[in-house]
């Protein structure tokens, strides 16, 4: 697989990474432990060298799973993990106090079976803790050899600048896809200015951009998409226009809608590495193959013009989760 460097200071990784969350958290189709380990090792066999997890996924079980699966190839992969929630639980609220960051780092090192955390993100910005204190704590962990690189997830431009002044931010992770382009306004230009790599999560719109979801689709109990306004039936019906646009280009390029959505992201900047997740081997193979799909200038122009003409309906998160979005 092609590789990319995540910004000026980030690691060199596969052009397509793997988001591990859905293996046992957030959705409804989970794999047994042996199946999840086999899938992670299959991803590595396909050339994936960048894996994304967090203590909050489970909580804790996802890191343990990733640690066991990738232990045999620990020197060949980059694993990103995250801190930022009280007791590791998003439901318990935010917690980026320095003592909590240190506790998470030590626990994540054990669960991931690593001597150093390759990339340590603040999962969500905690307004109760100055970002300077957060960056200063991670800087100390870097100096102690426990963390290699520092990242921020879903951080706004002011937060990124303030953190970067204390400890250079290596990577920013935010939702970014054909149906959520907000990072283009301020975050991506700032990443270009500061030499920061960018990792889009939910690059396939939590499955919507694959074309396999419409207004009649039902999600199992416990699937977090049930609570997202963008996945309300009326919003899905309206937003099918976006999928039809992608499907049209996919047919012309002999690709799948998912591959077009990933190739579009890869074409935005050479320091962007999306992290689609899946629990199915054939979808994994499909996602990995997107790294070889090159959309032409005319294709990209048509796609962008079509996107600009479509107003996506539905908020990303309900009001109850508004505090998780940094501005």
**Where does the pLDDT of residue 123 fall: very low under 50, low under 70, confident under 90, or very high at 90 and above?**
very high
Selection from 181, 185, 232, 174 nearest residue 52 by Cα: 174
% residues pLDDT > 70 (the chain): 100
**Where does the pLDDT of residue 325 fall: very low under 50, low under 70, confident under 90, or very high at 90 and above?**
confident
Selection from 164, 4, 177 nearest residue 78 by Cα: 4
Q: Whole-angstrom Cα distance, residue 326 to residue 275?
A: 21
Q: Whole-angstrom Cα distance, residue 324 to residue 322?
A: 5
pTM of the model: 0.97
Give the CATH number of domain 3-204+269-293.
Answer: 3.20.20.100
- Which amino acids are annotated catalytic? 57
Q: Whole-angstrom Cα distance, residue 225 to residue 155?
A: 22
Strand partners, 151: 121, 171
Q: Whole-angstrom Cα distance, residue 313 to residue 305?
A: 18
144: Cβ–Cβ under 8 A, 6 or more apart, which residues? none
- Supply 170's token pair: 């290596």
Q: How many other CB atoms are found less than 10 A from the CB of residue 6?
A: 27
Asked if 5 and 17 touch (Cβ cutoff 8 Å), the reply is no
**Residue 119 pLDDT exceeds 90:** yes
Average per-residue pLDDT for the chain: 96
Q: What is the pLDDT of residues 204-240, one digit of tens each?
A: 999 999 999 999 999 999 899 999 999 999 999 999 9
């Amino acid at each position: 697989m092609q590789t990319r460097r995540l910004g000026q200071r980030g690691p060199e990784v596969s052009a397509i990474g793997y988001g591990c969350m859905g293996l046992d958290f957030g959705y409804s189709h989970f794999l047994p432990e042996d199946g999840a380990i086999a899938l992670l090792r299959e991803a590595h066999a396909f050339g994936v060298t960048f894996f994304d997890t967090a203590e909050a996924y489970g909580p804790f079980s996802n890191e343990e799973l990733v640690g066991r699966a990738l232990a045999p190839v620990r020197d060949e992969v980059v694993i990103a993990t995250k801190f930022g929630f009280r007791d590791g639980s998003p439901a318990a609220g935010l917690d980026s106090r320095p003592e909590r960051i240190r506790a998470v780092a030590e626990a994540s090192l054990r669960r991931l079976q690593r001597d150093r955390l390759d990339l340590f993100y603040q999962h969500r910005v905690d307004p109760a803790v100055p970002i300077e204190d957060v960056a200063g704590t991670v800087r100390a962990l870097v100096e102690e050899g426990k963390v290699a690189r520092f990242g921020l997830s879903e951080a706004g431009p002011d937060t990124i600048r303030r953190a970067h002044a204390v400890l250079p931010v290596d990577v920013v992770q935010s939702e970014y896809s054909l149906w959520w382009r907000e990072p283009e306004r301020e975050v991506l230009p700032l990443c270009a200015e500061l030499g920061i790599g960018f990792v889009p999560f939910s690059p396939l719109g939590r499955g919507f951009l694959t074309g396999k979801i419409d207004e009649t689709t039902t999600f199992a109990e416990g699937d977090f998409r049930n609570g997202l306004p963008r996945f309300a039936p009326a919003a899905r019906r309206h937003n099918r226009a976006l999928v039809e646009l992608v499907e049209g280009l996919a047919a012309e390029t002999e690709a799948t809608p998912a591959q077009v959505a990933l190739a579009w992201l890869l074409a935005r900047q050479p320091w962007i590495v999306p992290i689609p997740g899946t629990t199915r081997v054939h979808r994994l193979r499909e996602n990995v193959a997107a790294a070889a799909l090159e959309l032409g200038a005319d294709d990209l122009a048509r796609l962008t013009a079509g996107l600009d003409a479509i107003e996506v309906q539905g908020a990303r998160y309900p009001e109850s989760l508004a505090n998780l979005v940094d501005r």
